[in-house]
Structure 1
């Protein structure tokens, strides 16, 4: 509604005992999109509110986003002189990737495959690319992120382990890290079982002996390679994740007694597989075979050392298809020489490839393979497609379920939360603009109203977007979903959350979101509660974010464009007065809401405008006698 029509509409506003929304919205719908295409994640309107009301099946997100972009472009005026195509994202693939994955990447962006780059060459080139895809051989260090100078948005690890990527540096530089954890699970488990069985029956040693001895003597050495049976033996699985679980399933089929240690493994999953969860010491001290499937972390680095081997049953056999660094290789050689460890079968090493003079690799009781855990045709193609989909999705702005350093939101949860993502960032942005001296904010409280059980309400994504909305307007850093929490902590910003049960539809995960900022003054005192906290509240209505409360005042305005908040004496003519001032300055009003607490005492007027008014217009509004305070907010 144009500003000049507000006066004529004023007569229609007869009931001012409740919020009076006067807003129009464009045909169609809009919603949230998380874009990693810029150095900070921006929330853009992209017609998926309909999808939030009628969630599409998994896999249709790409087409929904495409349709939204086409709709958005169609609504813009065409100008052949100014319209420029956005450049395609650029992707560097530094290690071999399956053709199916490369084809998917090429369908979206420009792909360059540069294998065996030295660290210096990688740093020299990385500033040209939006995304980097690696396997286990490329080290993505802090120096790489520094050399990228903010250009690098996504690092994709084609596989599970991410110890070759500096996650702390990635987070600080706002770079999303994704991996491909599912495609090679079966391949890794099968290789673990192959090493287990092959080691138990001395397959590698017998093969080498036949090829070396029979050629010269025509004899073979059957008695030298007597093995051990697997049936009835105890296998300890150290790390009961996806791969460990699949190894357990297969080992049970071989008649082994399987125990496992993993402080994070669900007990019900272990029970379902007939596996007993035990302590670390119990696992290593009772097992005949120990199979390692744990990630490499500061806690697990060289966790299998002299002290650990000393606790093991004499004659134990060890399999490692996880990460090389979890074993102290010198300690393992000593344990082998002393007979504590009878045999070891290793697919991974601390340094890859190992040095030519490695005593471990050359040991007669060690079977080695060159990191073949994921090396099946099926796994190679699967990993390539999985990581390509994750990288393309991240570059498009979609949230990845395999994100390593950002909130991981399952697709079904994301479908529900999509409309609230925009609301969360808008409320954060509004709250910080209401604070006097926003850079001094230290404490923020977020209150979620929901009819759902608090334990089932996943608010990590919403919280991250509120943090982003608060920090971005007051920081010179590039803020996005990845580094928002890190920078908040760096700036001493404390975020607390509270979930309040309300009587609302269980179909909606969240009824309302309230953001409170404490211990700061406000540019708009009407936004303060009695406790002195700035307080605003919002809801999602018809897929759109709405501001529904400012301080103690109820309002109802759509959170888009720019917003005026005016506190004035509750008297006739105020809507027309302010509307005329805006209209005379050619500032178009898109919506309006008026609220009051006591009749003819004080009221709040929330006005949405398409254009930012100039200083003269703001001065005229401030000179209206009945207006006690006002603030202009950029949404």
Structure 2
């Protein structure tokens, strides 16, 4: 195995490089590179570790011919073209928990700053004034905090707010009633939050759905005197509308750590009464910087060395504990997918992936990705587990996963049913004693076969002498047979044959086999 090589292209804790080297991975630290400089060298690397400065786009990824993983030390991945990464089979990881506490604490600090007008009071006092009556604050106790986004950071803010004796309401489309109870919040819709909250804090990523979630219309529907905090992402708030409502007094205060355009060296909000700003400090503590550097290095090293996938944004996560158990099933899934893909006559419309027995208890997402990677390989030699689901969506292939708790004839079974323009066909396989993948059913016909190397698939009428005719044809062509794998529906009816051969069968031999009496279909396969 070639030693993986990683580039760290943004400044981060030296702990990251230490971890890579301890794990036997080569690492270069080259920060501040321009786009052209990065393009010139990125082809050397298997991994790219970044923060927010490096912006891997499609051009960079086109040059990254060996790149397997991009690791973002932090939460936000707006600087990464994730569609381009997925299309090229590059895993994109982040570290969503390394700076959660730090960011949550910053939101709480901004809340106190607004409630007690701390920045203005500090500036006034240090200017030699003593304006006690000018800085009349409000208590947090008993006030209602509205969370827009109740994920990891939002839930930490909720916990801290309850410690301050605040009431917490939360809007999050993915928040369940049980989870709301667990974090001590009341689940509400956005209208309910806007009308009730004394303080609003945002903890959501920037997506097409969340962009401008606090636009002018929603800001105008907030409770008069509300105070708003954003330590999440720029672009969630209409900054011009926020300025107007601060100046009108409808909004009592706003504290932003993030802006629509950064670095925000100029902004219309600067100098507005009641406005507090910090330069994207949410994750800026010593502890957080070390934590995210350690996490991104560990995650990338695990992936490059063992295949374990943690906190990936464009492929199913597989823990280091799961990886050994899943590996043989994923090999089976790839082979079954490859078999179905090579035998599909025309466009695939629908795929059903069914798991029985022990397999049904495991993480099915990586298995599904492996099936799709195998199935699509005949039409793309660049497909892998990362980009296979992306390619399936591009081709409008409907993919379904089905789990069966029952155990059938085998301790575990994986069945792949493919619907094409020519009808529906299925293949099924299992693992034998030494975790060896084995085909056990082909198009409803029971048969046992190893799927390995070059093979011939033959559909034929079940007639005496047919096996001998195939063997003679291959023998005359100097092609040695490894195994004959046979199956039929009933005596004298349709039969199928999988023949493992030592060498690929050329077109002339294929043409000869097609002329044999009873042959319905012949196809050369490769595994």
**2:418 is aligned with 1:516:** yes
Write the distance in 1 (CA, Å) between the matches of 2:461 and 2:149: 67
- CA shift, 1:233, in A, is 0.6
CA contact (8 A) 1:163 1:297 kept: no
Write the distance in 1 (CA, Å) between the matches of 2:181 and 2:348: 46
Write the distance in 2 (CA, Å) between the matches of 1:411 and 1:465: 17
* Alignment partner, residue 219 of structure 2: 309
CA contact (8 A) 1:89 1:395 kept: yes
**Compared with structure 1, are the counterparts of its residues 279 and 517 closer, same or farther at alpha carbon in structure 2 (3 Å cutoff)?**
closer
- CA shift, 1:394, in A, is 3.3
Write the distance in 1 (CA, Å) between the matches of 2:81 and 2:376: 24
**2:347 is aligned with 1:441:** yes
CA contact (8 A) 1:558 1:591 kept: no
**2:317 is aligned with 1:408:** yes
* Superposition map of 1:276-355 within 5 A: 276-355=186-265
**Compared with structure 1, are the counterparts of its residues 112 and 457 closer, same or farther at alpha carbon in structure 2 (3 Å cutoff)?**
closer
* Superposition map of 1:193-212 within 5 A: 193-212=108-127
**Compared with structure 1, are the counterparts of its residues 120 and 314 closer, same or farther at alpha carbon in structure 2 (3 Å cutoff)?**
farther
* Alignment partner, residue 89 of structure 2: 174
- CA shift, 1:618, in A, is 5.6
Write the distance in 2 (CA, Å) between the matches of 1:156 and 1:615: 46
Q: Counterpart of 1:406 in 2: which secondary structure?
A: coil
Q: Counterpart of 2:282 in 1: which secondary structure?
A: coil
Residue 33 of structure 2 is aligned with which of 113, 117, 125? Answer: 117
Residue 180 of structure 2 is aligned with which of 270, 289, 292? Answer: 270
- CA shift, 1:462, in A, is 2.7
* Alignment partner, residue 100 of structure 1: 15
- CA shift, 1:481, in A, is 2.0
Provide, for residues 299-319 of structure 1, a one-character-per-residue CA deviation record: whole Å limited to 9, x for no partner.
Answer: 222222221221111211111
Q: Counterpart of 1:295 in 2: which secondary structure?
A: coil
Q: Counterpart of 1:190 in 2: which secondary structure?
A: helix
Q: Counterpart of 2:284 in 1: which secondary structure?
A: coil
* Alignment partner, residue 255 of structure 1: 165
**Compared with structure 1, are the counterparts of its residues 141 and 621 closer, same or farther at alpha carbon in structure 2 (3 Å cutoff)?**
closer
**2:427 is aligned with 1:536:** yes
Q: Counterpart of 2:92 in 1: which secondary structure?
A: strand
* Alignment partner, residue 386 of structure 2: 482
Identify which range, 294-303 or 236-245, moves more after superposition: 294-303
Write the distance in 2 (CA, Å) between the matches of 1:385 and 1:625: 66
CA contact (8 A) 2:455 2:504 kept: no
Residue 497 of structure 1 is aligned with which of 397, 400, 403? Answer: 400
**Compared with structure 1, are the counterparts of its residues 364 and 126 closer, same or farther at alpha carbon in structure 2 (3 Å cutoff)?**
farther
* Alignment partner, residue 374 of structure 1: 283
Q: Counterpart of 1:271 in 2: which secondary structure?
A: helix
Provide, for residues 173-197 of structure 1, a one-character-per-residue CA deviation record: whole Å limited to 9, x for no partner.
Answer: 3322111111111111122112222
- CA shift, 1:387, in A, is 1.0
- CA shift, 1:267, in A, is 1.9
Q: Counterpart of 2:97 in 1: which secondary structure?
A: coil
Provide, for residues 426-462 of structure 1, a one-character-per-residue CA deviation record: whole Å limited to 9, x for no partner.
Answer: 12211222234xxx413233241535999x8754333
CA contact (8 A) 1:451 1:501 kept: yes
TM-score (norm 2): 0.88
* Alignment partner, residue 153 of structure 1: 68
* Alignment partner, residue 557 of structure 1: 449
**Compared with structure 1, are the counterparts of its residues 256 and 609 closer, same or farther at alpha carbon in structure 2 (3 Å cutoff)?**
same
Write the distance in 2 (CA, Å) between the matches of 1:141 and 1:632: 39
Write the distance in 2 (CA, Å) between the matches of 1:511 and 1:546: 10
CA contact (8 A) 2:7 2:28 kept: yes
Q: Counterpart of 2:139 in 1: which secondary structure?
A: coil
Write the distance in 2 (CA, Å) between the matches of 1:291 and 1:474: 48
Identify which range, 593-602 or 287-296, moves more after superposition: 593-602
**Compared with structure 1, are the counterparts of its residues 123 and 208 closer, same or farther at alpha carbon in structure 2 (3 Å cutoff)?**
farther
Residue 363 of structure 1 is aligned with which of 235, 256, 272? Answer: 272
- Count of residues in Structure 1 that have an aligned counterpart in Structure 2: 525
CA contact (8 A) 1:180 1:402 kept: yes
**2:78 is aligned with 1:163:** yes
Write the distance in 2 (CA, Å) between the matches of 1:362 and 1:92: 41
Write the distance in 2 (CA, Å) between the matches of 1:137 and 1:330: 26
Q: Greater relative contact order (Cα 8 A, min sep 6): structure 1 or 2?
A: 1
Residue 239 of structure 1 is aligned with which of 149, 170, 189? Answer: 149
Write the distance in 1 (CA, Å) between the matches of 2:191 and 2:455: 62
**Compared with structure 1, are the counterparts of its residues 393 and 610 closer, same or farther at alpha carbon in structure 2 (3 Å cutoff)?**
farther
Provide, for residues 395-435 of structure 1, a one-character-per-residue CA deviation record: whole Å limited to 9, x for no partner.
Answer: 34614231111233456665554322122221221122223
CA contact (8 A) 1:451 1:506 kept: no
* Alignment partner, residue 392 of structure 1: 301
Provide, for residues 89-136 of structure 1, a one-character-per-residue CA deviation record: whole Å limited to 9, x for no partner.
Answer: 333323211111121233443333333334454445444433322222
**Compared with structure 1, are the counterparts of its residues 556 and 98 closer, same or farther at alpha carbon in structure 2 (3 Å cutoff)?**
same
Write the distance in 1 (CA, Å) between the matches of 2:373 and 2:342: 13
Write the distance in 2 (CA, Å) between the matches of 1:350 and 1:380: 23
- CA shift, 1:598, in A, is 2.8
Provide, for residues 276-305 of structure 1, a one-character-per-residue CA deviation record: whole Å limited to 9, x for no partner.
Answer: 011111112211111111111122222222
TM-score (norm 1): 0.74
CA RMSD of aligned residues (A): 3.2
**Compared with structure 1, are the counterparts of its residues 464 and 354 closer, same or farther at alpha carbon in structure 2 (3 Å cutoff)?**
same
**Compared with structure 1, are the counterparts of its residues 207 and 632 closer, same or farther at alpha carbon in structure 2 (3 Å cutoff)?**
same
* Alignment partner, residue 50 of structure 1: none
Provide, for residues 182-217 of structure 1, a one-character-per-residue CA deviation record: whole Å limited to 9, x for no partner.
Answer: 11111111221122223322223223333332xxxx
Q: Counterpart of 2:270 in 1: which secondary structure?
A: helix
* Alignment partner, residue 470 of structure 1: 375
**Compared with structure 1, are the counterparts of its residues 247 and 616 closer, same or farther at alpha carbon in structure 2 (3 Å cutoff)?**
same
CA contact (8 A) 2:247 2:273 kept: no
**Compared with structure 1, are the counterparts of its residues 495 and 411 closer, same or farther at alpha carbon in structure 2 (3 Å cutoff)?**
farther
User: Which sections of structure 2, spanning at least 5 residues, go unmatched?
Assistant: none
